[in-house]
Structure 1
Amino acid sequence: MSQPAEKPAAVEPVLLRRDSNGIATLTLNRPAQRNSLSEALMAALSDELKLIAEDKTVRVVVIAANGPAFSAGHDLKEMTARRQDEDRGRRYYQNIMRQCSALMQSIVRLPKPVIARVHGIATAAGCQLVASCDLAIAAEGTRFATPGVNIGLFCSTPMVALSRNLSRKHAMEMLLLGEMIDAARAAEFGLINKVVPADQLDSAVLDFAGKIASKSALTVSIGKEAFYEQLEKGLAEAYDYASDAMVKNMLARDAEEGIGAFIEKRDPKWEDR
């Protein structure tokens, strides 16, 4: 008598989402691969961010990770396998780099703040992911690196995010030495905002996220967009742009309400318009 066929094991999703009190937590879920950024994981993260961009119930995003590491960067095994392609992987590598670059830019352009909840290690494109987020909080013991130079593959795309967060000397130190730095040093460099004991990581992230979620979503959206736009402009052009942003903001209902509440010494009632 033949035995019934075993049901195939359920495939775990590479990305998990949980929403609570206006905070969407996206959790990288490839713990056995140290949450390396595979094609599938980057696609899932990009798709979820697109949905969140239009979701008015979400006011803040947290990017977290399951397992012992935040993210070890690109999936090098996945990438190396494509060297067998007729073009030695050229087209595939071009697509992967475009996909990763688009993902990082989508975080910057998302009209809601994004907080990285970091633990374990964040290396190469994983470090790039941390640098691309608006804020980052790390547990004590977390280590960061852009170690590509050690394996003959300079971290050129992570360099874009690093060089927009760190001083030039600190960015080049990480890129040229390829060595791990601890969380305290990462905070000194400006890569992360805060270092906390591991058992306080969730509460520290929730504290940041909760405070942001209590603000006018429209005001925060205007401010985040203006912050990144003015960074790329010359001084005079940046002031012109920021002045226009403030006029737009001043004419919004929430600015009128917030200023009125301040003058009248009461709590504002946001309508996000």
Structure 2
Amino acid sequence: MTTQLIRRQDRDGIRSIVIDRAGKANALTADMMHALAEAIGTAANTELVVIEGSGTAGFCAGADIAEFLEGDQLERQEEGLKAIVAALVASPRPIIAAIHGRTLGAGVLIASLSDLVIAADNLAFGLPEIHFNMYPVIVQAALEEKVSAAIAFQLCATGRLLDAAEARALGLISDIMPAVSFAAGVADRAAFYRDRVEALSIGRRAMRSGGSSDVLARIVRLAPLMHENFGRPGVRETIARYLKTR
């Protein structure tokens, strides 16, 4: 079942990976996180990786918070997020995230660690965890690969959603495409970058050669804070109340 929710296709030198759970706003379960990491990590015979989300609602609504209330699933989601980070950072292939609509939580993490981000003009990009009295420490570490620590904190602490123009102004996205023709626009830009993949790969290596922080190591250090936060009184109950209203 999980392999059906993370679809992949290799064509013309491009590995297309689609998060295909539109009925749940492409929210990622722990199993889906590991499947996504595996799909990124096995793209050795392609030149470029493009990650997309199915449906019209958005790219990815983040981690499936319903799993937070199920036994050890919070730990499994932590491991899944770390697997995604490791795959994105270690990929020898340039990675493009094609994001549209609601791009939240783990969706922001994926975009923050991708080399290029193509966004639809209906983008709503942000971190709503604060509304559940949770702080997205893991996503903040990923955001800081693209923006300053102060800006990352503001986005995490306020839960404010950015539109496409605001996200591009901060350096979080590289291209904006009309939502009505987004699929065609993504295909066109992906072909453009594939045809220049040698130069793009040089740029990727240059970006990572300047002594940037080891984001995976930082996330491993920060992960206990996520568990501390979830264990605070009222957090589990707030999530449960929200799920009942959906």
Distance in 2 (CA, whole Å) between partners of 1:12 and 1:132 is: 23
Give secondary structure in 1 for the equivalent of 2:147.
coil
Partner deviation per Cα, 1:149-200 (whole Å, 9 max, x = no partner): 2211101000011111123332222111112121111111111112221133
- Give 1:208 deviation, angstroms: 2.9
- 8 Å Cα contact 2:140-2:152 kept in structure 1: yes
- Give 1:222 deviation, angstroms: 5.1
Question: Which one of 24, 34, 48 corresponds to residue 33 of structure 1?
Answer: 24
Give secondary structure in 2 for the equivalent of 1:19.
strand
Partner of 1:69: 58
Question: Which one of 107, 114, 120 corresponds to residue 95 of structure 2?
Answer: 114
Partner of 2:154: 173
Distance in 2 (CA, whole Å) between partners of 1:41 and 1:11 is: 6
Please identify the structure whose Cα radius of gyration is greater: 1
Structure 2 residues without counterparts, runs of 5 or longer:
214-246
Give secondary structure in 2 for the equivalent of 1:37.
coil
Matched, 1:230 2:204: no
Distance in 2 (CA, whole Å) between partners of 1:110 and 1:127 is: 18
Aligned CA distance change for structure 1 residues 197 and 221 (closer, same or farther; 3 Å): closer
Aligned CA distance change for structure 1 residues 135 and 69 (closer, same or farther; 3 Å): same
Partner of 2:48: 60
Give secondary structure in 2 for the equivalent of 1:122.
strand
User: Which segment is superposed worse, 25-34 or 15-24?
Assistant: 15-24
- Give 1:231 deviation, angstroms: 4.1
- Give 1:113 deviation, angstroms: 0.9
Distance in 2 (CA, whole Å) between partners of 1:97 and 1:73 is: 13
Distance in 1 (CA, whole Å) between partners of 2:31 and 2:83 is: 14
Partner of 2:75: 94
Aligned CA distance change for structure 1 residues 206 and 155 (closer, same or farther; 3 Å): same
Distance in 1 (CA, whole Å) between partners of 2:190 and 2:38 is: 22
Structure 1 residues without counterparts, runs of 5 or longer:
1-9, 83-88, 234-273
TM-score calculated relative to the size of structure 2: 0.78
Count matched residues. Answer: 212
Give secondary structure in 1 for the equivalent of 2:42.
helix
Q: Which has the higher contact order (CA 8 A, sep 6+)?
A: 2
Matched, 1:192 2:173: yes
Partner deviation per Cα, 1:110-165 (whole Å, 9 max, x = no partner): 11111111111111111111111111111111101112122111010000111111
Question: Which one of 37, 41, 45 corresponds to residue 50 of structure 1?
Answer: 41
Question: Which one of 123, 129, 136 corresponds to residue 155 of structure 1?
Answer: 136
TM-score calculated relative to the size of structure 1: 0.71
- CA RMSD after TM alignment: 2.1
Partner of 1:79: 68
- 8 Å Cα contact 1:111-1:225 kept in structure 2: no
Distance in 2 (CA, whole Å) between partners of 1:154 and 1:106 is: 24
Question: Which one of 15, 33, 40 corresponds to residue 6 of structure 2?
Answer: 15
Give secondary structure in 1 for the equivalent of 2:154.
helix
Partner of 1:3: none
**How do 1:129-140 residues align onto structure 2 when only pairs under 5 Å count?**
129-140=110-121
**How do 1:228-267 residues align onto structure 2 when only pairs under 5 Å count?**
228-232=208-212
- Counterpart of 2:115, as a letter, is D
- Give 1:229 deviation, angstroms: 3.5
Distance in 2 (CA, whole Å) between partners of 1:185 and 1:72 is: 19
- Give 1:216 deviation, angstroms: 5.5
